[in-house]
Amino acid sequence: MSVVLAKGAEAMLFLEQWYGIRVVRKHRIPKSYRVESLDKRLRHERTIREARTINVAKRAGVPTPIIYSVNLETATIIMEYIEANRLMEHLETLSSSKQQKVFKQIGKSVALLHHTHICHGDLTTSNMLLHTSGKVYFIDFGLATTTHSIEDYGTDIHLLRRALNSTHHTSWRECFNAFKDGYQNEYGRGASRIFRQVEAIESRGRYITERIR
């Protein structure tokens, strides 16, 4: 039994039975538009990164799926199936106070990641799952990096702000503020330095006067 769960940009996700348990098989499919050697390099690299960082993130206390098996030849990962909704479609259905609670938690998790020197690399609401328990799971660590530079942590936060601003433009400000709260509480000293770096990164972009905030 194999059901297509989702078709992402990089990978196909299948819901399957595996030794008697329900699992997700994530297969990074070859892309015909790019040179073969580049394609292989990227899929190989990202499969390793994802498997490795998900485990580290889990140990740091960030909710992530359990990795069961990795096949580098086919760029496939078998992982725990989490019965939850993608935050992207679900965020607008939540009350404002619930939204802020969720983002406070996301802030805490991202701070935990950064404390463990992990950058997620693609923090959008399509990569977060909201469980009925209220827990937010992080998925898709294919672009994650291990890093000690606040420039990278800043980029991570900048990407989240960008994603909120473009996808959830009605409530993004409150959500981002809640995120900031959660992040600062968990990260403690040094958090303000990282948020200053976010400003620096954004001011370096093309044609910046003052962004609409």
Give the DSSP letter string of 51-111: HHHHHHHHHHT---PPEEEEETTTTEEEEE---EEEHHHHGGGS-HHHHHHHHHHHHHHHH
122 binds another protein (CB under 8 A): yes
CB of residue 26 to another protein, shortest distance in Å:
14
Compute and round to an integer the Cα radius of gyration of the chain: 18
Which one among 1, 188, 205, 213 touches another protein, defined by CB under 8 A? Answer: 205
Find the part of the chain contacting another protein (CB under 8 A) among 18-26, 106-114, 156-164, 192-200.
156-164
32 binds another protein (CB under 8 A): yes
Tokens of 8: 């992402």
Integer Cα distance of 99 and 87 in angstroms: 10
Integer Cα distance of 210 and 195 in angstroms: 16
Integer Cα distance of 213 and 206 in angstroms: 16
Specify whether 122 is catalytic.
yes
Which one among 162, 173, 177, 195 touches another protein, defined by CB under 8 A? Answer: 162
Which one among 33, 95, 132, 189 touches another protein, defined by CB under 8 A? Answer: 33
124 binds another protein (CB under 8 A): yes
Contact between 194 and 157 under an 8 Å Cβ cutoff? The reply is yes
User: Residues 63-102 vs another protein: string with x where CB under 8 A?
Assistant: -------------------------x--------------
Report the DSSP beta bridge partners of residue 131.
84
Terminal CA-CA length for the chain: 48
213 binds another protein (CB under 8 A): no
User: Of 122, 128, 109, 78, which Cα lies nearest the Cα of 178?
Assistant: 109
Find the part of the chain contacting another protein (CB under 8 A) among 2-10, 66-74, 76-84, 108-116.
2-10
Closer CB to another protein, residue 55 or residue 145?
Answer: 145
As annotated, the active-site residues are 122
Sites of contact with another protein (CB under 8 A): 7-10, 31-35, 37-38, 41-42, 88, 121-124, 126, 143, 155, 159, 162-163, 165-167, 169-170, 201, 204-209, 211-212
